[in-house]
Amino acid sequence: MNKEQVYSLHRVYRKVLDAMARPGTIQSLQEESAMIRLDGGCLPAAQCLIQLLLDADTTFCAFSADEALERKISQLTYCPIRPLEKAAYVLVTKSVAAALPSVIEQVSGGTLEDPQLGATLIVECSALKSGGELVLKGPGIQEAVRCQIETRAGWIEARAEKNAEFPLGVDLIFVDPKGQLLCLPRTTQISKEAEAWPM
């Protein structure tokens, strides 16, 4: 990895921290994505996160229609592959977007003794937009933030059930083809606009 790629990863790290601290805000990894590229298989922004988060000291699982993707990522990062329910990080590509609710149900939510063992999901979606029907509330949000996450239905309900017993739960990082990133830590509450502000 050259010096420019290292600097790019530092910027990715800061942007992920900011997005986690301020759920619902959108960060752009477009510039960093141009510097950090894998051999295909997932979106460039997801590739940035893979390079940042995965190493020999953690574990991951790739949920994708590309059966070779998991092996490629492991060879690149030296990160051990684990079953879905035991992986610290889980990549869900757009090719299997419909399976996201099932993936959320199966991944680890941590334990009362070690809630930090709850999985972090890197999820590819069609688009991320400010405004929209999703209303976010919770730590890091002043009153409420609205956003739009364009992916298959059912994941919000699955996430709510998985995160029902705080501090247990999962954290989600969404990325889209434009290189945008949006984080949803387990502390963030999600509702739809019509439910939050009935007419």
pLDDT tens digits, 153-194? 899 999 999 999 999 999 999 999 999 999 999 999 999 875
Q: Which three-class secondary structure state does DSSP give residue 179?
A: coil
For tokens 């994708």, the residue is 64
Distance separating alpha carbons of residues 104 and 155, to the nearest angstrom:
8
CB atoms within 10 A of CB 45: 28
Distance separating alpha carbons of residues 61 and 82, to the nearest angstrom:
6
Distance separating alpha carbons of residues 19 and 106, to the nearest angstrom:
25
Angle, vertex CA 151, rays to CA 95 and CA 172, nearest 5: 90
Q: Specify the pairing of strand 60-63 against strand 89-92.
A: parallel
How distant is the alpha carbon of residue 108 from its chain centre?
Answer: 14
Q: Specify the pairing of strand 127-137 against strand 145-150.
A: antiparallel
Confidence (pLDDT) at 14: 97
Confidence (pLDDT) at 41: 82
Confidence (pLDDT) at 197: 41
Fold adopted by 3-196: Rossmann fold (3.40.50)
Confidence (pLDDT) at 1: 67
DSSP 8-state class, residue 81: B
Which helix (H) or strand (E) segment holds residue 27: the answer is strand 27-28
Q: Where are the domains of the chain?
A: 3-196
Distance separating alpha carbons of residues 169 and 178, to the nearest angstrom:
28
Residue ranges in the chain assigned as alpha helix (H): 3-21, 30-35, 44-53, 69-77, 100-106, 155-162, 193-196
In this structure, what token pair is assigned to residue 154? Answer: 């059912």
pTM: 0.94
Residues of the chain where predicted confidence (pLDDT) is lower than 70: 1, 37-40, 194-199
- Cβ atoms of residues 1 and 10 within 8 Å: no
Confidence (pLDDT) at 198: 39
- Cβ atoms of residues 116 and 58 within 8 Å: no
Strands ordered across the beta sheet of 171-175 = 27-28, 180-184, 171-175, 120-124, 89-92, 60-63
Q: Specify the pairing of strand 120-124 against strand 171-175.
A: parallel
